[in-house]
Amino acid sequence: MKVETDESEGTGNCLKANGIESIDTRPDPKEIRDLTQEETEIRNKLLTVLNSCQDKAKNSGATYMNSVCLNGILDLSDEEIYENVKKTFDINQLNWLEKVIQKKIWKPTLEFTQYIEQFTEETCTRAEIPSLVRKSYISGRFDPCHHESHDIAQQILTHLSVRLEAPMRVEYKGLDLERTFAIDTIVYILNRLFRMHQDELDVAWIEQTTTDTKDHEFDGLYKVIRTIGKSQPIIMIEFSYGRKVPLPKKDGDQLKLCRNSMRTLNKLLKTVPGDRARVYLVQSFNGFIEIKYLVRPLPSVYMLQRFMRTKIPASFSDFEQFAKYIKELMNWQIDVLLTVKAVNKAGDKIRDNLHLTSVEETH
């Protein structure tokens, strides 16, 4: 299914190709007519790149059930696609793109910086790490708000160190089990990252569903606790096996997250402006944590970008790299909390002149 760049009407239904249902992302023509000339040009260029990606995917034998782009999403985490987009844009359009996909930046505290800087190539050893992770750079009275980042870093790194300090039999297979591995890694990390924000974010784990995604179950969901109206999901999480995952399982879970995040984003866009609305996709696979986010800045233009990806330490030498990514986790926390503010600021009032194509259920 090619996405038209003119004002062809969106049906809101699923399209079929070779007997397989795909998501119809065509917008209402009224939504297109509201665009400025510059927005129309940007949209046409982006959809041209998307159509090219779709042609390439079809020629390689991909289907709507195993290809992100065939579902109408420009995956900017793919370097080739991102470069193709940048080649078609002028300087003003590039500035627009960078603003749309900009990641929020958190300013580290002195104590956090001092703590993280301990972890170097020379110090990340079995002998040093158990002491380093437990060392505190907080002097005087502990302030749970000001020292939150230091506390997050220390508790996460201490937990991961304890996993490696503990003796383990060669027969132990727990880390190959999806939920056993996740509970001790990604679940712990995310719960600790957002623990001080439980008054704004509600979390639930294992076989979670939403009204927008119907019978599709997720391993985890974070929802904005709205001051007005029902809670709004903004983070969707999938565990893809334990330490090792077959490629079809990894790709299948990613596509599941992408398709359902489109549904969730469409719901979010009914109240939240397009430049503030984001849905976050979190996946754990092969001992890595990957975080992406989906935006829809223009009609039928869905763009996916990676926020970060890092390896969960499997040895003490891995702590040097992981410690650096604690800063990225804090950046992501700030990004999420700003989205939370946007959701609560918008309330539950439907925005004026909004025309969104519904995303129908597919199997």
Q: Which residues contact 351 (CB under 8 A, 6 or more apart)?
A: 269, 270, 271, 273
Using pLDDT thresholds of 50, 70 and 90, give the confidence band for residue 11. Answer: very low
The span from the CA of 337 to the CA of 126, in Å, is: 36
For strand 279-285 and strand 15-17, is the pairing parallel, antiparallel, or unpaired? unpaired
Highest mean pLDDT among 3-17, 33-47, 227-241, 345-359: 33-47
Query: What number of other Cβ atoms are within 10 A of residue 354's Cβ?
Result: 14
Which candidate, 289, 279, 263, places its Cα nearest to that of 221?
Answer: 279
Task: Tell me phi and psi for residue 16, to 5 degrees.
Answer: -120, 135
Using pLDDT thresholds of 50, 70 and 90, give the confidence band for residue 26. Answer: low
Residue 276 has pLDDT above 90, yes or no: yes
Please give the average per-residue pLDDT across 193-212, as a whole number.
Answer: 92
Low-confidence winner among 170-179, 212-221, 305-314 (lowest mean pLDDT): 170-179
The span from the CA of 126 to the CA of 315, in Å, is: 8
Average pLDDT, the chain: 87
The span from the CA of 338 to the CA of 318, in Å, is: 31
In this predicted structure, what is the pLDDT of residue 20? Answer: 46
pLDDT in tens, 151-177: 999 999 999 999 999 887 767 777 777
Which candidate, 337, 261, 336, 321, places its Cα nearest to that of 289?
Answer: 321
pLDDT in tens, 80-107: 999 999 999 999 999 999 999 999 999 9
Please answer whether residues 354 and 269 qualify as being in contact, where contact means their C-beta atoms are separated by less than 8 angstroms. yes
Rg (CA), the chain: 22
> Which amino acid belongs to residue 271?
T
Instruction: Kindly give the residue spans of alpha helices, DSSP state H, lying in 68-222.
Output: 79-88, 91-100, 110-116, 129-132, 148-165, 178-184, 186-193
Task: Tell me phi and psi for residue 13, to 5 degrees.
Answer: -110, 175
In this predicted structure, what is the pLDDT of residue 173? Answer: 75
pLDDT in tens, 108-160: 999 999 999 999 999 999 999 999 999 999 998 999 999 999 999 999 999 99
CA distances from 293 to 57, 137, 206 (A): 22, 33, 21
Please give the average per-residue pLDDT across 66-76, as a whole number.
Answer: 93
How is residue 42 written in tokens? 């940007």
> Which amino acid belongs to residue 252?
G
Residue 12 has pLDDT above 50, yes or no: no
How is residue 9 written in tokens? 């009407």
Please answer whether residues 152 and 193 qualify as being in contact, where contact means their C-beta atoms are separated by less than 8 angstroms. yes
For strand 301-311 and strand 279-285, is the pairing parallel, antiparallel, or unpaired? unpaired
Q: What percent of the chain has pLDDT over 70?
A: 86
The span from the CA of 132 to the CA of 157, in Å, is: 9
Sign, Cα dihedral of 1, 20, 58, 45: positive
